[in-house]
Structure 1
Amino acid sequence: MNSQALPQFWRLYRALPKEIRLRVAKSYRIWRDEPHSPGLRFKRVGNRRPVYSVRVTDDYRVLGLLETDTIHWFWVGPHDEYERILRSL
Structure 2
Amino acid sequence: MISKTTDKFWKYYDELPVEIKKHAKKAFNCFLKDPYHPSLHFKRIHSTRPIFSVRISKHYRAVGILEDNHIVWFWIGSHSEYDKLIKSIRIS
C-alpha displacement at 1:68, in angstroms? Answer: 2.4
Are residues 1:74 and 2:78 paired? no
Cα RMSD after superposing both structures:
0.8
Are residues 1:52 and 2:78 paired? no
Gaps of 5+ in 2: none
Number of matched pairs: 89
State the match for 1:14 in structure 2. Answer: 14
Identity, % of aligned positions: 39
TM-score with structure 2 setting the length: 0.92
State the match for 2:28 in structure 1. Answer: 28
Cα distance per residue 1:38-87 (max 9 Å; x no partner): 01100111123111100011100000001222100000000011011111
Structure 1 residue ranges (4+ consecutive) displaced by more than 3 angstroms after TM superposition: none
TM-score with structure 1 setting the length: 0.95
SS at match of 1:56: strand
State the match for 2:5 in structure 1. Answer: 5
